[in-house]
């Protein structure tokens, strides 16, 4: 006989024996250890191609992770999504692209492109930039400027001139009496603009001065700048100091009132801070003195932070996801329940339902949001785990729902602080609450699935050490696989041998509920 199913997502909890500050490995977690040893269990992929990202070197995130969990399929994300949007021309039909073009035209302004110049396909791809430059000319824009960030990290360390020459050749083919484009500024990705996790806002400040203000060492061309700076300092591309392109002391392309700016990176971690600078410049931005705050239209290639809705404008929409689990369950007349605190509430609702803000059925879907504390997460690493559990246990014991899901944000949100000790407490807090969920499932004879959406708290130390010899904190996600365990399942529940990812979880849930999966979904993890 099938039973109701409860799914717990432990956000940011990877499962690996590798120990670079592995707060999951070292946490006291008797419940999770029991689940991953005494009950049917395996590990599943939560990054790279398993969640629709271009390569297996691409870290997963909560947005794509919950997309995959909630729809049982792999949809293109990141670079793949952008490639498809450009190839189809859909990118140029987006509101953000149209508004960026209109804003520049209406104000007799320029279109600026800012991003990493390479074909590394991790943060950006030069082909995307070239396609948009060509479209600018086709749509009648008069002026375009490119602000290049040099790679040397995802591509050979001194390959910058290869990409500069490629870009300059394209620009030369486009320039005529009606259209003029040029490279206006540049610098190494580890020196200007592309800081991440607010580790060094001075990088973004340097980028602002270089790109926006035209304030920096001036050269007649990008090639001249790169060759001269290499000769003077022996720099590899990623560490090349910032430079401005200009003539007779006049920069080729400062950012002025009436201009549009497009950040063409598609990966979010090193795009968030410069996006904040543009989006928040007139909303209390205080990370550095901007000197000048031009009135511009700013858009990102993608929305880099789903929680912050940053940037406000972006060219490529998230994938249009069909055949979600929620829609499937509603069509079967099954009542479901979703719960988390504010930090991850959108992930168990909006992203889970295929990037939809609305429910498929107000009658059959119940969503409960627990307000998050507005406090640094390392100061209260248990967050709202107790309150989430209170609501989940009450919902289970009500007997009203056949499918229930929740997200515990601790492993991710506390993990992002880089505070190892606090993250240990965060992981242990979730494990403590798992005991209550397990007890409620046992009492009501429900099946429990426990998994995670990506790694983070399993890798808290970066390469190298601080000047004082202490480990260097790592605040990003990891590439680790994540745990998957089935507790109190029907008699004979057994995990298959196979190469599974987050998108296999949906079919597993509906199989435990006694249904056949839709044809579009990947297979179940259990036999």
Annotated catalytic residues are 62
Name which of 373, 382, 471 is nearest 423 in CA terms: 382
Residue 474: how many CB atoms within 10 A of its CB? 20
Scanning 266-368, the segments in alpha helix (DSSP H) are 272-279, 325-331, 342-346
CA 404 to chain centre: 25
Angle 53-459-476 (CA atoms, 0-180°, nearest 5)? 50
The count of C-alpha atoms lying within 13 angstroms of the C-alpha of 317, restricted to the half-sphere facing its C-beta, is 13
CA distances (Å), origin 469, targets 22, 162, 465, 473: 18, 39, 5, 12
CA distances (Å), origin 153, targets 23, 134, 190, 481: 28, 27, 9, 24
346, 339 contact by CB (below 8 A): no
Angle 33-338-313 (CA atoms, 0-180°, nearest 5)? 110
| CA–CA gap between residue 45 and residue 53 (Å, rounded) | 12
φ, ψ (nearest 5 deg) of residue 405: -140, 150
Spell out a b/e string for 170-195, using b for 16 or more CB atoms within 10 Å of the CB, else e. Answer: bbeebeeeebbbbbbbbbbbbbbbbb
Is the torsion defined by CA of 67, 69, 72, 76 positive or negative? positive
Q: Is 136 exposed, middle or buried (0-12, 13-18, 19+ CB in 10 A)?
A: buried
10, 430 contact by CB (below 8 A): yes
Name which of 70, 47, 7 is nearest 354 in CA terms: 70
100, 111 contact by CB (below 8 A): yes
DSSP one-letter string for 362-426: TTTEEEEEEPPPSS-GGGSTTTTHHHHHHHHHHHHHHT--SEEEEEE-HHHHTGGGT-HHHHHHH
Question: Residue 115: beta bridge partners?
Answer: 148
DSSP one-letter string for 216-236: S-EESSHHHHHHHHHHHH---
381, 423 contact by CB (below 8 A): yes
126, 167 contact by CB (below 8 A): yes
Q: How far apart are the first and last CA of the chain?
A: 15
DSSP one-letter string for 474-492: --S-B---EEEEEES-STT
Angle 207-212-214 (CA atoms, 0-180°, nearest 5)? 90
């Amino acid at each position: 006989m099938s039973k109701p199913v409860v799914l717990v997502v432990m956000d940011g909890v990877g499962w690996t024996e590798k120990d670079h500050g592995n707060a999951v490995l070292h946490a006291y977690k008797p419940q999770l250890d029991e689940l991953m040893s005494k009950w049917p269990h395996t590990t599943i992929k939560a990054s790279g191609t398993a969640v629709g990202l271009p390569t297996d070197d691409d870290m997963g995130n909560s947005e794509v992770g919950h997309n995959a969990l909630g729809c049982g399929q792999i949809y293109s994300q990141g670079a793949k999504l952008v490639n498809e949007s450009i190839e189809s021309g859909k990118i140029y039909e987006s509101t953000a692209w149209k508004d960026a073009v209109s804003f520049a035209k209406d104000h007799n302004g320029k279109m600026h492109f800012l991003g990493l110049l390479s074909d590394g396909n991790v943060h950006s791809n030069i082909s995307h930039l070239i396609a948009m430059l060509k479209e600018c000319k086709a749509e009648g824009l008069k002026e375009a400027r490119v602000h290049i960030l040099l790679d040397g990290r995802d591509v050979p360390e001194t390959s910058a001139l290869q990409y500069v020459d490629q870009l300059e050749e394209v620009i030369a083919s486009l320039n005529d009496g009606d259209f003029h484009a040029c490279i206006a500024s540049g610098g190494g990705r580890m020196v200007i603009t592309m800081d991440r996790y607010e580790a060094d806002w001075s990088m973004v400040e340097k980028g602002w001065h270089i790109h926006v203000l035209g304030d920096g060492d001036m050269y007649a061309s990008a090639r001249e700048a790169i060759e001269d700076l290499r000769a003077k300092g022996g720099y590899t591309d990623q560490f090349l100091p910032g430079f401005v392109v200009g003539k007779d002391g006049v920069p080729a392309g400062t950012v002025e009132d009436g201009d549009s700016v497009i950040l063409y990176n598609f990966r979010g971690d090193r795009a968030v801070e410069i996006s904040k600078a543009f989006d928040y410049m007139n909303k209390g931005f205080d990370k550095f003195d901007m000197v000048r705050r031009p009135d511009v239209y700013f858009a990102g290639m993608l929305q880099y932070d789903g929680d912050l809705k940053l940037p406000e404008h972006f060219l490529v929409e998230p994938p249009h996801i069909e055949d979600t689990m929620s829609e499937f369950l509603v069509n079967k007349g099954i009542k479901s329940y979703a719960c988390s605190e504010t930090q991850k509430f959108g992930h168990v609702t909006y992203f889970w339902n295929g990037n939809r803000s609305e429910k498929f059925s107000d009658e059959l879907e119940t969503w409960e949001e627990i307000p998050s504390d507005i406090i640094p997460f390392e100061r209260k690493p248990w967050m709202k785990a107790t309150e989430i559990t209170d609501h989940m246990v009450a919902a289970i014991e009500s007997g009203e729902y056949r499918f229930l899901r929740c997200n515990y944000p601790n492993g991710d949100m506390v993990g992002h602080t880089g505070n190892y000790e606090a993250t240990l407490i965060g992981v242990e807090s979730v494990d403590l609450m798992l005991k209550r969920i397990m007890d409620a499932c046992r009492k009501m004879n429900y099946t429990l699935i426990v998994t995670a959406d990506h790694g983070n708290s399993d890798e808290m130390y970066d390469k190298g050490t601080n000047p004082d010899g202490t480990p260097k904190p790592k605040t990003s996600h990891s590439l680790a696989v994540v745990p998957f365990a089935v507790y109190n399942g029907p008699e004979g529940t057994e995990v298959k041998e196979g190469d599974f990812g987050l998108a296999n979880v949906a079919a597993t849930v509906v199989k435990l509920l006694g249904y056949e999966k839709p044809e579009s979904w990947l297979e179940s993890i259990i036999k």
